[in-house]
Structure 1
Amino acid sequence: MANGLYVHSEIGPLQKVCLHRPGEELLNLTPDDLERLLFDDIPFLEVAQAEHDKFAELLRGEGVEVLYLEKLVAEALDAAGTREEFTNQWLDESGLRGHSTRAAVKEFMDSIEDTQAFVEKCIAGIRKNEIDLPHSNGSLSAIVDDQDAVTDLLIDPMPNTYFTRDPFAIVGKGVNLNHMYSVTRNRETIFGKYIFRDHPEYNDAPLWYRRDSAYHTEGGDVLNLNAHTLAIGISQRTQASAIDTLARNMFWGDKGSEIDTIYAFNIPASRAFMHLDTVFTQIDVDKFTIHPGIMGTLQVFKITKGATDGELSIEEMNDTLEHILAKALGLDAVKLIKCGAGDPVAAAREQWNDGSNTLCVAPGKICVYQRNTVTNDVLYKEGLDLLVVPSAELSRGRGGPRCMSMPFARADI
């Protein structure tokens, strides 16, 4: 692990993982802003933090080193002396308008001496009453500033940050630094930029994708099947053109990706099928949890190198998920375990609470949400070892244990 990154599967014993403990960004969620900020409800912060702490405790109990996003960013900025550059870019992407208001916000942010507290404030957002806003005093820009500041929030929070799976994805020894689907979440990828450029442990990681690329893609659509094989969802959040770009960078880049085959799964563009990992996740060498709605024939594209440099060979496969996954893994067969035990009511309810979105800590040992009792009972009966995460509040963000984690290192199987 020359750069500290090493992820060649979804199930190899987890060694190092990146999380973000929910913070004051959840206190800056209001009912009027929920849709824009991609939330369906407002979690109770105190309970959400206790649940997240239990999640981290369960992982540490399995020997996993837990890294926190906000600390990694702070370490990167301090090591490289790039806090000023980061601040200006964060302001550029904040949506804040008006020179005078921007200057007041920058002065406020610069006054936060501790770099980790500064990063946490970037995530939390800024309310109007926290800043001494300028008055017009005959200045047109200050008048515009005042007009821009009529809402309670000057800068939106980033409430989705505790879903560390999506802004970037570790593949092998490198990183997909994503261009995300929504403006509100794309701001989160700025943290990845500075970690993988400036952090002493990760600053030589190759980038298989860049946040300034033209097409959007997200980490929840990326599953590492083995060292040479990747599964990616063509979904509401990941465009086919992004997969083209990603494939070319992996196949012909100068950074030495080991990936030589990509399976692109065309899944419905809907909230229920938001990412590939809301459809299925791998939980053992030959077992997957799945959303029952994905059963039947799928359209999948197998992508390999073409005859000439830069040319992709694309083979369309129309087959069942079971057969495609078995072929991709080189197995005779795989077992698909249905969310909600296949019962349509239980499946719909527990899929809403991410019953198929599990985090594998080692083959056959997985983190699951406590509230998905029907699915969990089936998993127990199938011989899986469950690490049960309390989930009354964390689940309100519509993401499960896999969504809340980005592995930095896994041991080989």
Structure 2
Amino acid sequence: MKPYVYNEVGKLKVVLLHRPGKEIENLTPSSLQDLLFDDIPYLTVAQSEHDVMASVLKSREVEVLYVEDLISTVLKDQEIKERFLDDFIVFNNINSLELAQSIRKFFLNLDQEKFIEKIICGLRSNEIDMQNSSLSAQVRKEYPFFIKPMVNLYFQRDPVATIGKGVSINRMSTGTRRREALLMDYVYKYHPLFKDEEIPRYYNLSDPFFIEGGDILILSPKVLAIGISERTEPEAVELISKRIFAKERFETILAFVIPQTRAFMHLDTIFTMMDVDKFVIHPKLTDEIEIFSIKNIKGDLKIESENGKLSNILKKHLKLSGIEMVKCGGEDPIVQDREQWSDGSNVFAICPGTVITYSRNYVTNKLLRKAGIEVIEIPSSELSRGRGGPRCMTMPIVREDI
């Protein structure tokens, strides 16, 4: 299968998800901040809500792939499995040789299903007896995990991004999430769906700067938008821009400088596309946002500051006569903040003019319908506790051209 994504809203053909699992039940109040959560979702309900979203996608003839199934197929090869395990231990900052050896032995004694489950849900410190053999293990045993759970894994947008005919395997900004990208790194290298395809890599785990997929939006076959945020560094934007221009037909990359706050985590938490000329946006960004345009001039980057209203900048680069911006939460500042917090701006297009949204953002959803958008609401009482919306949970692998 060849990745192919040149827009945000063309008919979706193949998408990557992760169904929340037992990793969610390893969240504790004391670990919330470390694991980037604000609350503890109820797993049974979160799974039910996620299944609704998957059912919506399948009902629209979208092929749904699950990262846990893909990596399980890859790790059936024993040599690859052991190589992955060595990398996984390194990514988890296990520096004690004795502890690393014990963890390796523990995992290799598991059957395949349990192996995948433990990789994702974490390894508790009481699951391995390290008494009298590792000072590191005994000092750190008060922390409940030798390997922390990947509780953010159901936000598949961030670890990897499809860009044109290639992929970006992202170096994520926090150590607790950086391990997630390792899964798709191995999937693209070794899974039968991808291993025999020539798939360009526009970013790699070994690159030095942080970038996350929630900051990457493909506005048209010629224009990308990348957010410079608390999770994506400007140096990463420059590096990925050079690689994309060398391989792809994109002509302009718009770098959005967004506030580095928890509420504005990624570009797609404040700005997403619903149709070729319709966007939902955080109201505070309709007038004031710093944007730089990046172009490729004979192999060198030409970077210019863009001034003016966002709608005018988008009209110019997308070559449109008009742009419709729907404000998340409408005109009421209280509703704006509330629905922004619950990802009212983070909608996911499955074809032009049709989006999946959280049902809880009823004010924004009403405004989207008024703008002519087909809105498919999914329940979100538990999924939303992870601070991400429908776009955050979905990573397109193939979309049709518009």
> Structure 1 length normalisation: TM-score?
0.94
Greater Cα shift, 212-221 or 265-274 = 265-274
1:129 to 99, 110, 126: 126
Q: Which residue of 2 aligns with 1:176?
A: 168
CA distance in 1, matches of 2:316, 2:44: 45
The one-letter amino acid paired with 2:164 is G
Q: For residues 125-154 of structure 1, give each alpha carbon's deviation from its aligned partner in whole angstroms, at most 9, with x where no partner exists.
A: 0112322x1331xxxx52332222232222
- Comparing 335-344 with 122-131, which one deviates more in the overlay? 122-131
- What secondary structure does 1:154 align onto? strand
Could you list the runs of 5+ residues in structure 2 that have no partner in the other structure? Answer: none
Give the counterpart letter for 1:90 in structure 2.
F
Structure-2 change in CA distance of 1:80 and 1:242 (3 Å): farther
Report how far residue 329 of structure 1 moved. 1.4
In structure 1, what residue type is equivalent to 2:35?
L
Residue 190 of structure 1 is matched in structure 2 by: 182
Asked if structure 2 preserves the Cα contact closer than 8 Å seen for 1:299 and 1:319, the reply is no
In the TM superposition, what is the alpha-carbon distance from 1:175 to its structure 2 partner?
A: 0.5
The alpha-carbon distance between structure 1 residues 240 and 144, as it changes in their structure 2 partners (threshold 3 A), is closer
SS in 2 for 1:161: coil
Structure 1, 66-75 or 392-401: larger mean CA deviation: 66-75
User: Contact (CA 8 Å) 1:277, 1:357: kept in 2 or not?
Assistant: yes
1:261 maps onto 2:252 in alignment: yes
Q: What residue number does 2:371 align with?
A: 382
Query: Are 1:335 and 2:324 an aligned pair?
Result: yes
CA contact (8 A) 1:41 1:397 kept: yes
Aligned pairs (5 A) from 1:255-404? 256-307=247-298, 309=299, 311-404=300-393
1:225 pairs with 219, 225, 228, which one?
Answer: 219
- For 2:165, the aligned partner's letter is K
Residue of structure 1 aligned with 2:204, choices 203, 210, 219:
210
Measure, in 2, the Cα distance between the counterparts of 1:260 and 1:76: 36
The superposition leaves residues 86-143 of structure 1 with CA deviations (integer Å, 9 ceiling, x where unpaired) of 00111111133433332222222112222x5422321100112322x1331xxxx523
Query: 1:81 and 1:135 mapped to 2: Cα distance?
Result: 30
TM-superposition CA deviations, 1:292-314 (whole Å, max 9, x none): 1112132211111124x3x2111
2:91 and 2:178 in contact (8 A); partners too: no
The sequence identity of aligned pairs, in percent, is 44
Greater Cα shift, 96-105 or 237-246: 96-105
Partner of residue 117, structure 2: 120
Aligned to 1:20: 18
Residues 261 and 303 in structure 1, CA contact (< 8 A), matched pair in contact too: yes
User: CA 1:258/1:76 → structure 2, altered by over 3 Å: closer, same or farther?
Assistant: farther
Which shifted more, 221-230 or 356-365?
Answer: 221-230
CA shift for structure 1 position 343: 1.2
Structure 1 contact 297–318 (Cα < 8 Å) conserved:
no
SS across alignment from 2:2: coil
Report whether the alignment pairs 1:65 with 2:59. Answer: no
What is the alpha-carbon root mean square deviation over aligned residues? 1.4
Shift, 1:327, TM fit: 1.7
Q: Contact 1:77–1:199 at 8 Å: present in 2 too?
A: no
Match of 1:48 in 2: 46
Which segments of 5 or more consecutive residues in structure 1 lack a partner in the other structure? Answer: none
Q: CA deviation at 1:346?
A: 0.4
In 2, Cα distance between equivalents of 1:365 and 1:79? 40
- Matched to 2:72, the amino acid is A
Shift of 1:15: 0.6
Give the Cα–Cα distance (whole angstroms) in 2 for the partners of residues 193 and 270 of structure 1. 29
One of 70, 77, 82 as aligned partner of 2:80: 82
